[in-house]
A and B are shown apart, each in its own frame.
Chain A
Amino acid sequence: MGALTAEPVAAAASGLAARLAGVTVEVRGRGRDSSAGAPAGAGVVWRADGLILTNAHVAKGAVSIVLPDRRVLPARLVARDVEQDLAALVVEATGLSAAEIGDSDALRVGELVLAVGNPLGIVRALSAGLVHATGRRFIEADLRLAPGNSGGPLADARGRVVGLNAMIVGGLAVAVPSRAGWRFVRERLAG
């Protein structure tokens, strides 16, 4: 016990944080600075061919994406659903490292979760917490988020993305489940 367990846990967590940061993008909107745009939130590289999933409220007015390798690419909004707070953006790129998508329905209360985003402008910052409650429309997590986390990944202890962080309600992180993401991509981006 003691350090024998805690050290590998810490090492595993930092490895996972790096992996998640590698699939998290910055979403930028129209800003006064016309070159890069104003920070709007975060997004998840859903597919290697340039499909980015984020929240509808982040994608509204999105003009560009900053990839983990710092490349700035123009973004095109291809689908948006305000009800589910989901949106799909496409960038002209191939061979991106895409997130491994997990099953949000398999989450258990008490399970560890990690979030990566750009809270308060801090790029690809990590928060750790656990699943607070399941069985509702959204995932609730006991985890500290801040504005800028929106659209970024919520991942389980294996690094599989189980949701997109969407809002903070009563101190809880509220995320759109990955199942809703699957369905959204299947239904709205068919063909």
Chain B
Amino acid sequence: MDTLQSLSNDLAAAVERVAPAVVAVHARRRLPSTGIHWQPGVVVTAEHTVRTAEDITVTMADGRSLPAVLAGRDPGTDLAVLRVADAGSVTAVPGDDAALRVGHMVLAVGYGPRASWGVISALGPRWRSWRGGDIDRLVRLDLVLYPGFSGGPLVDAAGRVVGLNTSGLARETRLALPVTLVKRVTDELLRKGHVSRGYLGLGMQPVRLPEPLAAQLGLGPGGLIVVMVEPSGPAARAGVLLGDVLVALNGAPVGDLDDVQARLGSDRVGVEIPAIVLRGGVRTDLRITVGEQPRRRG
């Protein structure tokens, strides 16, 4: 068969492979968003498209309309998880996002099914969303995310889900959340209903260290000066004082708040980690038991 035809057939087959697990999520006015039937009875979608916590319904690929219950949401990573009874057993086939390369042909699929075609335009390292979530990897797309496509799967040419598309984390560029992150956050949301983040109970500001001191420490060129210590917070209990300069956390230098946050993932909560502070210009080693960030209400 002609190569163009076989490519065309492959792309259509990729859509047909994922389509039975692609659902419409009715959790906002007017336009529904898309969701992925992730595991039996569990639908994942983009958190920013869930505007109501009650009266959510899901339209399955076979046309059935089913009630859904919000099991958890994480605005930071823009992921929300719904529980849907009697959703059936046809779920999405996850792919390997680590194998993605710039230029790979991908498809975004919306409920219907509807399809959009393009390529991976850029890949980047771990990044922090403007909503404060830690995203394992930047996956930037050159394709059109049509209205209602947020929350739907990004699939490779074989129809395996490599990401979840969202327009909620960037205004101009089209992004997908890597499937590894979707899996991790979904598991945590199903377990706890929210994603916990590590917490020190400190207010800090970046400062540069005097060069001889920085050279002597052999860490980074700067640190974070403590300007607020929450009484009886995790850091206070470990002995951190106002005016200390935090230069290392869990064995790695810290120069700004992103460095600190990167070391306070949900797996650190309740764990004792080493910290190095400068107190009056002298290195002081402490051990801090990481707390859990208090959640905002509402």
Interface residues of A (CB under 8 A from B): 5, 8-9, 11-13, 16, 108-112, 129-133, 140, 142, 156-158, 170-172
Contacts and interface: CB of A to CB of B under 8 A. Distances in A.
Nearest to A112: B8
A109 B144 contact: no
Interface stretch (B9-17, B125-133, B228-236): B9-17
Contact of A130 (B5, B11, B13): B11
Closest 10 CB pairs of A and B: A110-B15, A157-B8, A112-B8, A12-B4, A108-B12, A110-B12, A8-B3, A111-B12, A130-B117, A157-B4
B63 to A, nearest CB: 12
B77 to A, nearest CB: 27
Which residue, A8, A9, A130, has most C-beta atoms of chain B within 10 A? A130
B100 interface: no
A133 B17 CA distance: 15
Contacts of B143: 142
Contacts of A9: 3-4, 7
A129 B3 CA distance: 16
Contact of A132 (B5, B7, B8, B116): B116
B109 to A, nearest CB: 8
Contact of A156 (B8, B107, B114, B117): B8
Contacts of A8: 3
A162 B107 CA distance: 22
Contact of B15 (A11, A109, A157, A158): A109
B112 A133 contact: yes
B113 interface: yes
Nearest to B3: A8
Interface of B: 2-5, 7-9, 11-16, 19, 107, 112-117, 143-144, 146-147
9 contacts: A5-B3, A12-B3, A108-B15, A112-B11, A130-B11, A142-B115, A157-B2, A158-B2, A172-B146
B213 to A, nearest CB: 52
B15 A112 contact: no
A171 B143 CA distance: 12
A183 B44 CA distance: 44
A12 B12 CA distance: 18
Contact of B114 (A12, A111, A133): A133
Contact of A16 (B4, B13, B14, B114): B4
Nearest to B118: A142
B146 A171 contact: yes
Contacts of B11: 110-112, 130
A76 B9 CA distance: 40
Among B4, B5, B12, B143, the most chain A Cβ lie within 10 Å of the Cβ of B4
Nearest to A156: B8
Given A12-B3, A109-B19, A129 B117 contact: yes
Contacts of B115: 109-110, 130-133, 142
Contacts of B16: 108-110
A46 B8 CA distance: 24
Given A130-B107, A133-B115, 16 more contacts: A5-B7, A9-B4, A12-B4, A108-B16, A109-B15, A109-B112, A110-B15, A111-B12, A112-B7, A133-B112, A142-B143, A157-B5, A157-B7, A157-B8, A158-B4, A170-B146
A142 B3 contact: no
Contacts of A172: 146
Contacts of B15: 108-110
A132 B16 CA distance: 12
A142 B116 CA distance: 6
A170 B114 CA distance: 14
A171 B9 CA distance: 24
Nearest to A133: B114
Contacts of A13: 4
A164 B114 CA distance: 20
A96 to B, nearest CB: 25
